[in-house]
Amino acid sequence: MSEILLISGSPTAPSKSAALLSYSADFLRERGITVKSVSVRDFPAEDLIQANYASPAFTEFKADIERVAAIVVATPIYKAAYTGSLKALLDILPQGALRGKTILPLATGGTHAHQLAIDYALKPVLAVLGASDIQQGVYIVDNQFQTLPGGFKLDAELQTRLDDSLERLYRTVEALDSNALSV
């Protein structure tokens, strides 16, 4: 079964958007998918800020992107868009790096005011990197999370929405695998 890469664009921890990725990782692993998680926090800030394309810190990330069939990218909304750290990370990717990839975008925000940010801000960047199958994103507001000592709990309605999107992603990857086997 193909592998899925989860990318967290939150510079802070603990992180609600990263919690969505942990949930996604469990969901996908339960269905037999190999999952790898990376965060903007894993990369040297100087390499990100200075767009040090040649940094060895990015070599594995670029190889991960090349290898996987699909990517779940989660970001908090900062100033009506995705985070600057996520943009800095996406900027190091070569032209066409997301060609042929299926992408599920997720975002968390403090208010409903920016619930279209996935569509007007993040999707164009994913598209310019070559992604053609960008699935319908999930936007979640902070008050749909319950803060617990060890992290965050999602409310039931949100969990259903996220499950539906993850199930769609899983089915897409499963279909890609079956097509590859039958060629």
Ligand X SMILES: Cc1cc2nc3c(=O)[nH]c(=O)nc-3n(C[C@H](O)[C@H](O)[C@H](O)COP(=O)(O)O)c2cc1C
Interface residues with ligand X (CB under 6 A) are 10, 12, 15-18, 76-80, 108-111, 113-114, 142
CA-to-CA distance for 166 and 91, rounded, in angstroms? 26
Cβ proximity to ligand X: between 5 and 18 the closer is 18
- Provide, rounded to whole angstroms, the least separation between the CB of residue 140 and ligand X: 8
Cβ proximity to ligand X: between 121 and 166 the closer is 121
Is residue 16 within 8 A of residue 145, CB to CB? The reply is yes
Cβ proximity to ligand X: between 77 and 129 the closer is 77
Question: What is the maximal distance between C-alpha atoms in the chain?
Answer: 49
- Provide, rounded to whole angstroms, the least separation between the CB of residue 92 and ligand X: 21
Cβ proximity to ligand X: between 65 and 106 the closer is 106
- Provide, rounded to whole angstroms, the least separation between the CB of residue 73 and ligand X: 12
Among 61, 81, 82, 85, smallest CA distance to 12 is for: 85
- Provide, rounded to whole angstroms, the least separation between the CB of residue 176 and ligand X: 29
Partners of residue 138 on adjacent β-strands? 106
* DSSP per residue, 161-181: HHHHHHHHHHHHHHHHHHHHH
